[in-house]
């Protein structure tokens, strides 16, 4: 940490300057994140599964002076580096290219002594980008105290984390979920963390749990469903080190909770967090779980469910969830209007529909926008639509969410083809591949329905609710 901080300082990075991190879960990530913060600079971990056009936007929007990237991720970002207007240095964890710096060389030649910058609890500490239904992602500016607040309320309060724990998160550190799970939670309490740089495939997760013996495992419902599909996993793998499994990112269907408990004898603790609030603010508690619900408010946060006019609804009625608590980010970077729409005084609008039952448990009822959570990651239907629209066979297209056999939402596209084009299974495969090639692959539509026309209002607006309800 100190060596990275000094290395960044020697490259001219000053307090408040941004440093973009395109890093796999690795010691380099940990040292870069803390090193930048100790210098008073502002690290911005970004999604390692995105495309060069996304990276182009992150670099220019943040005006980062330095990029630190893992070698295997350089191929995707390298083509746009000449267009990064504010970037001065590229540091590579691994073999650097021409004009780039080697992480190891820089760190080895830097001093291991570094005095922490004179920041306050309210200084910007790091940013995390969050996607919206339209427009570019928004940089959420998180302050120095935000992660302390989350670690104390949720990690200590709900998970009961201590220095005897060892965390393992399938959700990567560049997600707000993973960053708490596997970085500032264990560091706050003096616990250990297991960093896994590879793809979080179900069998690999079982193997890592058996080999590194974590006490807490964090995943998303889609991963738990995939792990449940591994035959005889309960007999093949030793999961005895685990005391807790946490689920977040999208709603956990009750059925998955029950199957996980029956197979592995472990509870799956569902809780909801957002990038804006940083980590989980409503959660189930070990031993008091209501399967299918998000649980109750984490002490330190307040929740309110309001109608369209902003008035609280009656218990049992569905409304928009608002949250109050001290880990809410300061603002969206350079997005004044979006900031005002979302953060209203001490309260933040989550964009989620919820109702609260008589025992105080919160039940998720979908989003108030069109955004989809697919495998715990945001997918904007508008982005998938405009990508498909670029294919020569497509006349009109609409993308909505559809539940798969496990009750988890995946994108489904309705396509009207141009005159003379016939709908074939080859074309369906081609359209899927087309999306995977153009934008981050996890956004591709899992189903494509060819239709003669799309349902529209008198003014020509696509009626998404009709498509959501439609059967194959």
CB 97, min distance to ligand 3UK, A: 32
> What's the CA gap between 143 and 150, in Å, rounded?
12
What part of residues 392-431 is at the interface with ligand 3UK (CB under 6 A)? none
Spell out the long-range contacts of 75-82 with Cβ–Cβ below 8 A and sequence spacing 24 or more: 76/50, 76/51, 76/52, 77/22, 77/52, 79/52, 80/52, 80/53, 80/55, 80/56
Measured in degrees and rounded to the nearest 5, phi and psi for residue 465 equal -60, -35
> What's the CA gap between 27 and 263, in Å, rounded?
34
- Provide the token pair at 410: 């995946």
Binding mask 259-278 for ligand 3UK (x = CB under 6 A): -----------xxxxxx---
The answer to whether 249 contacts ligand 3UK (rule: CB under 6 A) is yes
Q: How many Cα atoms occupy the beta-carbon half-sphere of 271 within 13 Å?
A: 28
Exposure of 149 by Cβ count < 10 A (0-12 exposed, 13-18 middle, 19+ buried)?
A: buried
- Cβ neighbors of 264 (< 8 A, separation 6 or more) are 233, 234, 239
**Binding piece for ligand 3UK, criterion CB under 6 A, among 15-23, 348-356, 383-391, 452-460:** 348-356
- Cβ neighbors of 54 (< 8 A, separation 6 or more) are 47, 137, 440
Nearer to ligand 3UK, 92 or 399 (CB): 399
Number of residues that bind ligand 3UK (CB under 6 A): 24
CB 275, min distance to ligand 3UK, A: 3
CB 351, min distance to ligand 3UK, A: 6
Exposure of 379 by Cβ count < 10 A (0-12 exposed, 13-18 middle, 19+ buried)?
A: buried
Nearer to ligand 3UK, 250 or 385 (CB): 250
Please report which residue ranges of 144-284 form alpha helices under DSSP H: 144-150, 176-179, 185-189, 202-212, 221-228, 233-236, 254-264
Binder among 28, 54, 352, 385 for ligand 3UK (CB under 6 A): 352
What part of residues 286-315 is at the interface with ligand 3UK (CB under 6 A)? 294
Q: Which of 71, 94, 66, 86 is nearest to 5 (CA)?
A: 66
**Binding piece for ligand 3UK, criterion CB under 6 A, among 31-39, 236-244, 249-257, 432-440:** 249-257
Nearer to ligand 3UK, 32 or 47 (CB): 47
> What's the CA gap between 219 and 77, in Å, rounded?
27
Measured in degrees and rounded to the nearest 5, phi and psi for residue 22 equal -110, 75
Q: Which helix (H) or strand (E) holds 432?
A: helix 425-438
Nearer to ligand 3UK, 298 or 462 (CB): 298
Binder among 52, 119, 130, 192 for ligand 3UK (CB under 6 A): 130
What part of residues 158-187 is at the interface with ligand 3UK (CB under 6 A)? 176-177
CB 451, min distance to ligand 3UK, A: 28
The answer to whether 132 contacts ligand 3UK (rule: CB under 6 A) is no
Residue showing the smallest CB distance to ligand 3UK in the complex: 273
Nearer to ligand 3UK, 117 or 330 (CB): 330
Strand duo 268-273 + 296-297: pairing: unpaired
**Binding piece for ligand 3UK, criterion CB under 6 A, among 1-9, 227-235, 246-254, 355-363:** 246-254
CB 50, min distance to ligand 3UK, A: 14
Binder among 94, 160, 300, 351 for ligand 3UK (CB under 6 A): 351
- Provide the token pair at 131: 């996607």
Binder among 54, 250, 383, 385 for ligand 3UK (CB under 6 A): 250
> What's the CA gap between 439 and 411, in Å, rounded?
14
CB 20, min distance to ligand 3UK, A: 19
Nearer to ligand 3UK, 124 or 409 (CB): 409
Binder among 19, 209, 280, 384 for ligand 3UK (CB under 6 A): 280
Binder among 3, 172, 364, 432 for ligand 3UK (CB under 6 A): 364
CB 140, min distance to ligand 3UK, A: 8
The answer to whether 244 contacts ligand 3UK (rule: CB under 6 A) is no
Q: Which residues bind ligand 3UK (CB under 6 A)?
A: 130, 176-177, 248-251, 270-275, 279-280, 294, 350-352, 364, 367, 373, 376, 378
């Amino acid at each position: 940490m100190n060596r990275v901080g000094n290395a960044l300082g020697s490259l001219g990075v000053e307090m408040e300057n941004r440093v973009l991190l395109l890093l796999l879960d690795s010691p380099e990530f940990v040292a870069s994140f803390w090193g930048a913060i100790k210098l008073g600079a502002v690290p911005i971990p970004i999604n390692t599964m995105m495309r060069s056009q996304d990276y182009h936007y992150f670099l220019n929007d943040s005006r980062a002076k330095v990029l630190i990237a893992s070698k295997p991720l350089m191929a995707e970002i390298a083509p746009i580096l000449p267009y990064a207007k504010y970037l001065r240095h590229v540091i590579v964890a691994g073999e650097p290219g021409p004009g780039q710096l080697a992480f190891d060389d820089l760190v080895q030649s830097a001093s291991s002594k570094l005095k922490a910058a004179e920041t306050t609890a309210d200084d910007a500490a790091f940013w995390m980008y969050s996607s919206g239904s339209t427009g570019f992602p928004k940089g959420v500016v998180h302050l120095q105290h935000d992660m302390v607040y989350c670690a104390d309320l949720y990690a200590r309060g709900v998970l009961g984390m201590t220095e005897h724990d060892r965390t393992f998160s399938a959700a990567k550190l560049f997600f707000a979920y993973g960053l708490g799970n596997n970085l500032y939670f264990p560091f706050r309490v003096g616990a250990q963390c297991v960093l896994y740089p590879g793809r979080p495939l179900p069998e690999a997760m079982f193997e890592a749990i058996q080999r590194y013996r974590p006490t807490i495992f964090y995943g998303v419902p889609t991963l738990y469903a995939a792990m449940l599909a591994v035959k005889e996993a309960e007999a093949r793998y030793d999961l005895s080190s685990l005391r807790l499994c946490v689920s977040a990112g999208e709603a956990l269907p009750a059925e998955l909770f029950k199957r996980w408990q029956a197979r592995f004898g472990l509870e799956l603790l569902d809780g909801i967090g957002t990038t804006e609030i940083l980590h989980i603010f409503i959660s189930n508690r070990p031993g008091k779980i209501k399967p299918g619900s998000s649980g109750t408010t984490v002490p330190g946060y307040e929740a309110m469910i309001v109608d369209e006019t902003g008035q609280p609804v009656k218990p049992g009625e569905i409304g928009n969830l608002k949250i109050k608590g001290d880990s809410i980010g300061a603002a969206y970077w350079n997005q004044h209007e979006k900031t005002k729409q979302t953060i209203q005084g001490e309260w933040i609008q989550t964009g989620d529909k919820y109702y609260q039952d008589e025992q105080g448990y919160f039940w998720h009822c979908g989003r108030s926008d069109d955004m989809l959570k697919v495998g715990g990651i945001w997918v904007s239907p508008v982005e998938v639509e405009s990508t498909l629209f670029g294919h020569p066979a497509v006349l009109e297209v609409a993308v909505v969410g559809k539940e798969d056999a496990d009750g988890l939402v995946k994108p489904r596209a309705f396509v009207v083809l141009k005159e003379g084009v016939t709908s074939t299974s080859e074309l369906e495969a081609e359209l899927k591949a087309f999306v995977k090639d153009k934008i981050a692959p996890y956004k591709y539509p899992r189903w494509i329905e060819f239709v003669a026309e799309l349902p529209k209002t008198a003014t020509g607006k696509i009626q998404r609710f009709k498509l959501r309800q439609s059967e194959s």
